[in-house]
Amino acid sequence: MTGKSTSTGPGGTWALEARGLGRRYRRGWALRDCSFRLPAGRICGLVGPNGAGKSTLLGMATRQVEPTEGELRLFGVPVSDREVMPRFAFLGQDKPLFKRFTVAETLRMGAELNPDWDMAAAERIVRAGNVPPHAAVGTLSGGQRTRVAFALAFGKRPDLLLLDEPMSDLDPLARHEMSTLLMAEAVERGTTVMMSSHMLTELEDMCDYLLVLAEGRVRMAGDADALVPAHALVTGVTQDGSLPAALTRHTVIESRVHGRQFQAMVRPQGPLTGDWRVSEPSLEEVLLAHLRSPDAPALYTPGAAVDPQEARTV
Amino acid sequence: MSTTSTDASTGRATPRRMVRGLNWLVLRQHRAALLCLLGLTLLVSLWIVYQRAQLIDLLDAAGRPEEGAGQPVTGRQYSLLTMLLGALPVVLAVFLGAPLVAADTEQGTAQLVTTQSVTRRRWLVAKLGWCFGATLLACAVLSALFTWWWRPYRSVLSISWLDAEVFDNTGPVLPALALFLTAAGVTIGVLLRRVLASMVVTFVFAVAVETAWSMIRQNLAPTRMVTYPLDSELPARLSESYEVERWVGTADGKLYGWGSCVEATEKAQEACLAQKGIVDNVIEYLGQDQMAAMQWTGAGILLAGTAALTAFVVLRSARRPL
C-alpha cells in the first residue's frame, strides 16, 4: 500500500522499478529475481558481461520481451499497459531503420506513430549532422544513420530513453559526437536514460547511476558516486598464504594473492584496521571486480533497492 | 484563436494528408508491391477484355455457331491467361504474404515500429488489412472479369467448368484461394521469421494446398444420378454436366461397372445384357447448376481457414513479440 504511493507519486519518482523480475528462455533463465529502482532524471549505465541479461532487461522495458515472472513499471505504470508506449524511446543495438525510406520519411513515420512528436527537435538533430533529408536511409554512413535513429528517439519526447549499446559500431569521432548529443538532449529535457555499454570509460564519463548485472542477477545498483566509496582496495601481506582473518570480517568481493602479497577489493563493514595499505579504487576497478566475481553479495545504495516491505504488499 | 495557432503549427510540422498514421506507414513500406499488384491487375483486366472482344469478333465472323458446334475456339492466349490466373494466388502468397511480417522481423524494423507508440496488434492489423484488402480487390476484379467473359461463351471455351482453369478462376473461388494462401504465407513468415525460408515454405505449402484442393473440388456438392435407357442418347440437359462415374444398371437399380458385358461379338454382348437384366445407362454427375453452390461452399471453407490463420497471428502477437 505504501509502496504504491511512492511509486506512483506525483511525476513518478521512479523512472524504472523492477520487482522480482525474471525471464526464462528454453536454455534457462536470462534474468532472474531482478529488483531495483531507477530514479527519474538520472543517466544510468547498464553494465555486465555478454549474456548477463542486459538486452533481456531492456527488451522487457520496451515490451519486446514478455517477463516470465515479476513486475516492471515505468513511471509507476506496468509495462504491460500500452499507456507506457509514448513514455519511452528505444535505440537497439543495430538501430534498425527502413532502408528505402528517406530521412524525411523516417521522421514522418515518427510523427505518424507518436502522439507527442516534436518535429522541430528531430529535424534539428538531423540538420546538425548535415544529413541530407532526401537521401535514402540505406545510403547513409553508420554515424549518419545513428544520428537519424537518435532523432527518431528524441523526437518522440520520451521520459525514459533506453539504449542498447548505442555506440558500439561507431568510429571514435562519431561516438564522441553522439555522446555529446545524447548528453545535451537528455540534460535539456531531463530525460532519464538507461544505456548498456561495454565501454567502461564511456560510462564513467556519462553516467551518474549504475546497474550491474552478471549471470542474470543484479550485482550492484545505485549512485555511481556512492558505489565506488563503498569499496576499498586493500593491499598487504598474506597470513599463511591466504587472506588475513581480520579482513574476512568485511565483504571481500575479489582477492588475488601474489606470493606473500595480497590485493583485495573489499566492501568494509566498519573501520578497516590492520597493517594494510588501503586505497580508493576507480569505478572501473570496482566494476571489473564485481564482473569477475558474480557470487559476491549484491550492493544497493539507498533508494535503489526495492523495499521488501513494499515488495510483499504488491 | 489558440486552435488556429495549433493547427498552423501542426500543419507546418506534418502537413495534413489523406493517409495518416499506420496506414501511411504500411502504404509507404509496401508501395512497390502494391503498385506492382495494381499494374498487374490493370494489365490482366485489359487482356481479358481484349480476348473477349476477339472471341466475339471471331464468332460474329463465323455466324455465331455457338450452340452445338462443340469446336473449341480458344488459343494459346486463353491457356496463358487461365494459367496466370491460377498462379496468381501462389504468387501473392509467396511475394506478398510470406515477406509481409518476416521481412520486418528479419531486418529489425518490427522492433522499430513497435517501440514507437503503437502496439504490435495495431500494427499487424494495419498490415494485414492492407495486404488482404489489396489481394481481395485484385482477385475479385480479375475473377469478375473472367467470369463475365467465360459465362456466356462457356460452350465454345473448351474447358469443363469443374476444371481448375474455370472453377478456381471464376466467382468467389479466386479471391478466397488467394486470401487463404496469403494468410498462410503471413503465418509461415511470422513463425519462421526469415524471408527466404518463409517464401520457400509458402511456395511448397501453396502447391500442396492446390493439389489437395483439386481433390476436394468435386466433393463440394453431393453428386446426382441419372438413369436412361441403354439405346438412347444422353439427355441434352446434361450436356454441361461433369461426369463423376458411369455404370450400367438393371431395371430394379442393380449397378454394374461400365465395362460389364463388353464382349467380342454383339451377340455375346446382348446375351450377357439379357442374362444380367441390364437395360439402363446410369451416370453419376455434378450439374452445371451446382457450380455456384460449390464455389461458395469452397470459398467459405477457404475464408474460414483465412480467418483462423489471421486470428492466430493477431492473438499470438499480444503474448509474444514478433
pLDDT at position B7: 41
What distance in Å separates the CA atoms of residue A198 and residue A52, rounded to the nearest whole number? 12
Q: Is the pLDDT of residue B228 over 60?
A: yes
Whether chain B has a CB inside 8 Å of the CB on A88: the answer is: yes
H runs (alpha helix) in chain A: 2-7, 54-61, 103-113, 119-128, 142-155, 172-189, 200-206, 224-227, 283-292, 308-313
- Nearest chain A Cα to B23, which residue? A112
**Number of Cβ within a 10 Å radius of residue B121:** 16
Which of A64, A87, A99, A154 lies closest to B110 in space, CA to CA? A64
From the candidates B35, B112, B114, B319, which should be mutated to test the interface with A, based on the most A CB atoms within 10 A?
B112
pLDDT score, position B39: 97
Question: What nine digits make up the cell of A182?
Answer: 545524447
Which pLDDT tens digit goes with each residue over B96-153? 999 999 999 999 999 999 999 999 999 999 999 999 999 999 999 999 999 998 888 8
Residue B9 — very low, low, confident or very high, per pLDDT cuts 50/70/90?
very low
Asked if B24 and A108 come within 8 Å (Cβ–Cβ), the reply is yes
What are the sequence ranges of the domains in chain B?
16-220+292-319, 224-289
Q: Which pLDDT band holds residue B85 (cuts at 50, 70, 90)?
A: very high
Reported as a single tens digit per residue, the pLDDT across B283-322 is: 888 988 889 999 999 999 999 999 999 999 999 987 777 6
Determine whether the interchain pair A96/B111 forms a contact, defined as Cβ–Cβ distance below 8 Å: yes
Q: B68 versus B18: which is more confidently predicted?
A: B18
- pLDDT-above-90 percentage for chain B: 53
Q: Where would I find the H helices in A224-307?
A: 224-227, 283-292
C-alpha distance from residue B3 to each of B6, B8, B11, B17, B58 (Å): 5, 8, 12, 19, 67
A1 interface with B at CB cutoff 8 Å: no
Report the residue from B22, B116, B321 with minimal CB separation from A156. B116
pLDDT at B3: 40
Q: Where along chain A do its domains lie?
A: 2-225, 226-298
- Say if the Cβ atoms of A114 and B116 lie within 8 Å: yes
Q: What is the pLDDT confidence band of residue B4, given thresholds at 50, 70 and 90?
A: very low
pLDDT value of position B16: 57
pTM above 0.80, yes or no: yes
Four-way CATH pick for A2-225: 3.40.50.300, 3.40.50.2000, 3.30.1330.60, 2.40.420.20: 3.40.50.300
Interface of B with A (CB under 8 A): 13-14, 20-22, 24-25, 28-29, 107-109, 111-119, 319-321
Q: How close B7 comes to chain A (CA, Å)?
A: 14
Q: Which residues of chain A have pLDDT under 70?
A: 1-12, 307-314
pLDDT of residue B68 exceeding 50: no
With beta carbons less than 8 A apart as the criterion, state whether A1 and A290 touch: no
Q: How many angstroms separate the CA atoms of B131 and B275, rounded? A: 65
pLDDT confidence of residue A4: 39
Average the pLDDT over B27-40 and give the result.
95
Which residues of chain B does A92 touch, with a Cβ-Cβ cutoff of 8 Å? 108, 111-112, 115
Nearest to B320 among A62, A66, A115 (CB): A66
CB-CB neighbors (< 8 A) of B114 in chain A: 63-64
Q: According to the model, what pLDDT value does residue B65 have?
A: 56
